[in-house]
Amino acid sequence: MRHAPRLGSGPVFLLLLILITAAPAWALSADEIALVVNSRAPDGRALAELYARQRHIPDGRIIEVDLDPDSAISPAEEMPFADYEPKVAAPIRAFLQRNNLRGRVKCLVTFWGVPLRIARRHLTPPEEDEAAKIDKEAADARAAITQDVATLEQSAMQLDPSFTPKQGDDVQHLARRLDAVLPAIVKALPGVKDPAQRTARYAQMLSAVERLLGGDRTTELMSQPSVALFSPHPPASQDVAAAQARLADVERQIALLQSDAATADEREKARTLARDNLGLFGYAFLLSARHESLDADQSESALDSELSLLWWTGYPRARWVLNPLEWKTRQGWRQRHMTPPPTLMVTRLDGPAEPIVRNIILTSIKVESEGLHGQVAIDARGRTGSDPYADYDQRLRHLADLLKEKTKLQITLDNKESLIPAHSLHDIAIYCGWYSLRNFSSPGSFSPGAVGYHVASFELVSLRLPREHGWVRGLLSEGVVGTLGPVAEPYLQSFPPADEFIPLLMTGRFTAAEVYWRTVPWTSWMQTYIGDPLYNPYKTDPPLAVGDLPDELRAAFFSPETHPASTQPSTQPN
């Protein structure tokens, strides 16, 4: 298990802001679910029909994707990167749009026969050529931006010797430098006594701004009172409105031309539109977004995790994207008075064998009506101090402390490096532990309806290989009905923290899908949740009240804000 490097969210989010709609509300219900099956895996279709009957999913909610014939014999667990968009994402998207379900369906459920994993991307020769062309254009744009920003900074220092330029020469740092220098110039202009010199400085600033941000953005800037003060002909309100309308139209065109299905010619047209209308910064951010979308590094992912971004376009497939549904990330969007692009919850009903999947469905419904009973088993490792894994280990101990203080549940905490001894416990309702890599060792017998997961890498590489010993397969085989795990190396930070996932589940306020998607930090990445998305094991008798939770975690109960999202890219998108 590795710690992940720190990565910025990237300028791709500039493009995504064009597509922002209101975030989905919570309280998942049966009429907000659609089911995804492989048309060539009849057992998966039968399981979806069983689930639809048992959970009263509305008619017409089973979406078929047509995958390779081999999947019917022994369902394939990996699919080529190039097949995901045309064979999975596009048919699902088309089905939802055709049936007026976009915005109504908040959760997709994949079934037996739909692959677990999307393989790493390999660029085609045309994509390699496009990447090289984009890199050249981006270098030229960055050089031109640097020259204009440096000229503005020189002017600011001449007007105000106390002005100190910010540092950094990538596009995002250059945007921050522009954000700093423009107010400095505007603030200093009143001190220029010579009207001709003041007018020249003002004209120099606007000329650079028009190259950097485009004519319509410059019109908006000139309408601001502090800037209009120096203009002999400040724009009228109708001029500003017309500029904003043109910007909105250009941004819509660019979004359409940048879809995943766009041709190279269409993407080139989008870049031309950006260069001609959004200035060097808009052009550079669009180039950066496309560069990220072509990056193949760590581009393999869990299919379910990728599906959560079904309605996104142009996002980077390398590495991960911060999950907009995770409660802390959602707070960040609220603080910026924005709503994220629409993001779906996705869970899976799958397992080592078809009868196990049936058991998940039927047992979840039965236990939900009766309540989940049994002990909590927490398997920490005793890590403390400067150990790089001590923080996560402490979260397991925090969980144990919280449950001991606030509930009457039986808690077993093993705080030693070794695992809980095999088969030593009974009636386990909740389990969380780590770190036995792809080497399942059952801690004991599980109560019907148990939920649990083991934090380790590669635990969901396969559900069906004969010699597979991953914890996801092992827990499902032991009767656990809700679990999660990664399809490849996930990094430790990608797991839902145990002291968030389990307490939220125990309040009985959320379904399993909502708990998982409120606590899993990243998407377009490696983690997958297997279980009934509507399962709420503590619905009838919750051991924890919301007031029992740490103050910070209570924020997970607030619905996403629905502030109108700005469609106007800033010079500083992050």
Per-residue pLDDT of 216-236, as tens digits, reads 999 998 898 888 888 778 889
Cis bond before residue 431 (omega within 30° of 0): no
**Greatest Cα-to-Cα distance within the chain, rounded to the nearest angstrom:** 87
Nearest by Cα to 483 from 531, 440, 527, 426: 531
Q: Please tell me the predicted confidence (pLDDT) of residue 227.
A: 83
Domain assignment present for residue 15? The answer is no
Measured on CA atoms in the order 537, 26, 495, 490, is the torsion positive or negative?
A: positive
Q: Please tell me the predicted confidence (pLDDT) of residue 341.
A: 81
DSSP 222-251: HTSHHHHTT-SSPPPHHHHHHHHHHHHHHH
Q: Please tell me the predicted confidence (pLDDT) of residue 558.
A: 72
Structure tokens at 61: 């909610």
Q: Are residues 239 and 376 in the same domain?
A: no
Dihedral of the alpha carbons of 382, 385, 391, 393, in degrees to the nearest 10: 0
Question: Cβ–Cβ contacts within 10 Å for residue 398, how many?
Answer: 16
Q: Are residues 188 and 242 in the same domain?
A: yes
Q: Are residues 478 and 372 in the same domain?
A: yes
Q: Are residues 397 and 464 in the same domain?
A: yes
Q: Are residues 380 and 484 in the same domain?
A: yes
Q: Are residues 174 and 198 in the same domain?
A: yes
Q: Domain span at residue 161?
A: 125-290
Residue 19: alpha-carbon gap to chain centroid: 15
Q: Please tell me the predicted confidence (pLDDT) of residue 116.
A: 96
How confident is the chain (574 residues) per 10-residue block, as mean pLDDT? 48 33 60 96 96 98 87 70 94 97 96 95 88 93 96 95 93 94 93 91 93 94 85 87 94 84 87 94 91 86 97 86 93 76 95 96 97 98 91 96 98 97 98 96 98 97 92 98 96 96 97 98 97 97 96 82 32 31
Q: Are residues 399 and 534 in the same domain?
A: yes
Nearest by Cα to 349 from 468, 474, 482: 482
Domain assignment present for residue 505? The answer is yes
Domain assignment present for residue 405? The answer is yes
Q: How far is CA 176 from CA 6, 149, 274, 365, in A?
A: 20, 10, 20, 53
Domain assignment present for residue 317? The answer is no
- Go through 452-473 and write b for each residue having 16 or more CB atoms within 10 A of its CB, e for each that does not: bbbbbbbbbbbbbeeebebbbb
Q: How far is CA 554 from CA 132, 326, 432, 442, 545, in A?
A: 48, 13, 21, 33, 10
Task: State whether residue 430 is helix, strand or coil.
Answer: strand
Q: Are residues 115 and 137 in the same domain?
A: no
Q: Please tell me the predicted confidence (pLDDT) of residue 240.
A: 92
Q: Are residues 505 and 392 in the same domain?
A: yes
Q: Are residues 108 and 202 in the same domain?
A: no
Alpha-carbon radius of gyration of the chain? 27
Q: Are 347 and 516 in contact (CB under 8 A)?
A: yes
Task: State whether residue 522 is helix, strand or coil.
Answer: strand
The tally of domains found in the chain comes to: 2
Q: Are residues 67 and 180 in the same domain?
A: no
Structure tokens at 462: 């396969």
CA distance 221 to 219: 5
Nearest by Cα to 435 from 395, 495, 379: 379
Q: Which pTM value belongs to this model? A: 0.78
Q: Are residues 79 and 204 in the same domain?
A: no
DSSP-H helix ranges across 124-170: 125-159
Domain assignment present for residue 3? The answer is no
Q: Are 461 and 451 in contact (CB under 8 A)?
A: no
Q: Please tell me the predicted confidence (pLDDT) of residue 76.
A: 82
